[in-house]
A and B are shown apart, each in its own frame.
Chain A
């Protein structure tokens, strides 16, 4: 399926391409496919591409002189039959400890949602979430697919210090804080794995288009994984689920 896209110049060096304003797995594939096509065809002209839920920003290495020529190039590329190496989507199993020590807001969240803690964990670990893109903080995954019975508006006053690894729910979204940060989401657990490591290249092993599934672990398992990571003995490949 081809979408009706809107092209506009965003800055002196960039062009914004927008899809309809929806959050959709199928549309995400179209966005990432187009991103891949642009990168393959214009690798020398383009510095980088940033994507969001329904848009893609192409940043060029130079000031754009004739923006219409660029629009035509991009439109032809989008509509062209040219096949790309379809990006492989990987699925990662993310361990989360939902103990009260980590899920500092779980008790309150459970009362507000009128759901038992076990039921919350069951519903949070059931879906396979889609990674729509990474933004906000280095390594922060924008995940789609949260069970609608778990939606809860963000806190009115954000926490000043949400701990690294916190797994949280905010509005219709769920996510993992890749570093200590202020944040207004309800914290229901914590994952010991590192989502972002600037000493590695790429710094994230999870990318847009990949899938994520949470699974509950005990505190002792949490500490075991944390220890393996601290001693560089943890292999992120063990998180991969083979379909």
Chain B
């Protein structure tokens, strides 16, 4: 078990997502930076769908009540175990009552803590990903207890040699394909929007990232249609909204771009004020 001593800014348990219920309006959820979440599990020799802790901006302080093995990936929150700095991207043995603490994220926005065998929070509709109106808890809070299986397995050495690709922390280019309503923009607008420098507004969370500045347009709304994480909507008032993992399943705003899966990971490591551009691939 993990006891939460400090929850951090916004920390949730996430796996690879909740599939098969989007036709009931249930968001897919799952780790925002799926590459980093998956990588942490791979290093531990876990199934990639094991639930991990996702910490945002400011990390948590946690006490392990049983011995286990952990891996930390994603943004650097300068993890400390019982007062000593520890390495990321490496299996670390923890003993009962060890305390781990994290600070502000550096060079990214989200950090992942994976535990051998995975975290065992609420399992609802095929997933442990915390989500509003689905799981009883939406984010972790002080004094919460999170279960994990006790194990003393030695980590598979082959997995321990995996190389973490940190390039997605360095780029400010989001790769995208044209969305279904891209062609409703005039030729000039199409060129303009692909050259525009954007910044991330303060309205960014697990549901969506809004970009600034606004992009003037006169596109008509569409009949409500499916959307996915990575869908970029353009509202009549000119807001660009990039939908993220907790997004709704359908929407009525024109869909201008669809980010690649990798670019959703890239964006999930960015924060308010970060600059970016959207580039059409291929």
Q: Which residues of A contact B (CB under 8 A)?
A: 8-14, 16, 18, 21-23, 47-57, 59, 133-140, 142, 178-179, 196, 198-199, 201-204, 207-208
Which of A9, A57, A204 interacts with B228 by CB under 8 Å?
A57
Please determine whether B21 and A203 come into contact, CB atoms closer than 8 angstroms: yes
Q: Using known A-B contacts A11-B258, A16-B180, A49-B23, determine if residue A198 contacts B125 with beta carbons closer than 8 Å.
A: yes
A124 to chain B, nearest CB (A): 21
3 A-B pairs with the lowest CB-CB distances in the bound complex, closest first: A135-B250, A52-B225, A57-B226
Which of A22, A52, A138, A179 interacts with B24 by CB under 8 Å?
A138
Which of B21, B25, B260 interacts with A12 by CB under 8 Å?
B260
A30 to B249, CA, bound (A): 21
Q: Which residues of B contact A (CB under 8 A)?
A: 19-27, 124-125, 133-135, 177, 180, 222-226, 228, 230, 248-251, 258, 260-261
A22 to B134, CA, bound (A): 32
- Nearest B residue to A14 via CB reads B228
Please determine whether A133 and B230 come into contact, CB atoms closer than 8 angstroms: no
Please determine whether A201 and B125 come into contact, CB atoms closer than 8 angstroms: yes
A52 to B181, CA, bound (A): 15
A137 to B131, CA, bound (A): 12
Which of B133, B223, B224 interacts with A198 by CB under 8 Å?
B133
Please determine whether B25 and A134 come into contact, CB atoms closer than 8 angstroms: yes
Residues of chain B contacted by A52 (CB below 8 angstroms): 223-226, 250
A202 to B22, CA, bound (A): 11
- Nearest A residue to B230 via CB reads A11
Please determine whether B24 and A55 come into contact, CB atoms closer than 8 angstroms: no
Please determine whether A135 and B25 come into contact, CB atoms closer than 8 angstroms: yes
Residues of chain B contacted by A23 (CB below 8 angstroms): 223
Residues of chain A contacted by B19 (CB below 8 angstroms): 47-48
Residues of chain B contacted by A12 (CB below 8 angstroms): 260-261
Which of B125, B135, B177, B225 interacts with A55 by CB under 8 Å?
B225
- Nearest B residue to A61 via CB reads B19
Q: Using known A-B contacts A11-B258, A50-B23, A201-B125, determine if residue A21 contacts B222 with beta carbons closer than 8 Å.
A: yes
- Nearest B residue to A199 via CB reads B124
Please determine whether A137 and B22 come into contact, CB atoms closer than 8 angstroms: no
A202 to B20, CA, bound (A): 10
Residues of chain B contacted by A179 (CB below 8 angstroms): 133
Interface contacts beyond A52-B223, A52-B226, A196-B25: sample of 9 additional A-B pairs, CB < 8 Å, sorted by A? A11-B177, A51-B23, A53-B225, A56-B226, A133-B250, A134-B25, A135-B250, A179-B133, A203-B21
Q: Using known A-B contacts A54-B223, A55-B225, determine if residue A138 contacts B133 with beta carbons closer than 8 Å.
A: yes
